[in-house]
Amino acid sequence: MDNLTLVAMSSIVTAGLTIGIGAIGPALGEGRALAQALTALAQQPDEANNITRTLFVGLALVESTGIYCLVISLILLFANPYWNYFIKLGGG
């Protein structure tokens, strides 16, 4: 078990778990907001434009927390600074 393997393993496991755990919150939060939006639409069809606009701006904000997780996950897979260091060290 040399250093490269250990860094690779912890990066792989963390990349998966980060997006795995981080997808629970946004999905549930968006589902809840979406559910309420449909109730609001049914109650006030005249305000449909206003409601759907607020809904999608808000959903984008909720989605952003999921995006943070995805970004960290992709950084760990494809732009991992620690991995790059060890690769350079080994190849230097």
Q: What residues between 35 and 54 interact with a copy of itself by CB under 8 A?
A: 35-48, 50-52, 54
Within 64-83, the residues that bind a copy of itself by CB under 8 A are 64-66, 68-70, 72-73, 75-78, 80-83
Which tokens go with 25? 């919150």
Residue 14 beta carbon to a copy of itself: minimum distance, rounded to whole angstroms: 4
31 close to 58: Cβ distance less than 8 angstroms: no
Using CA atoms, how far apart are residues 33 and 92, in angstroms rounded to an integer? 52
Within 8-27, the residues that bind a copy of itself by CB under 8 A are 8-27
Among 15, 6, 13, 3, which Cα is nearest to 77's? Answer: 15
- Residue 28 binds a copy of itself, judged by CB under 8 A: yes
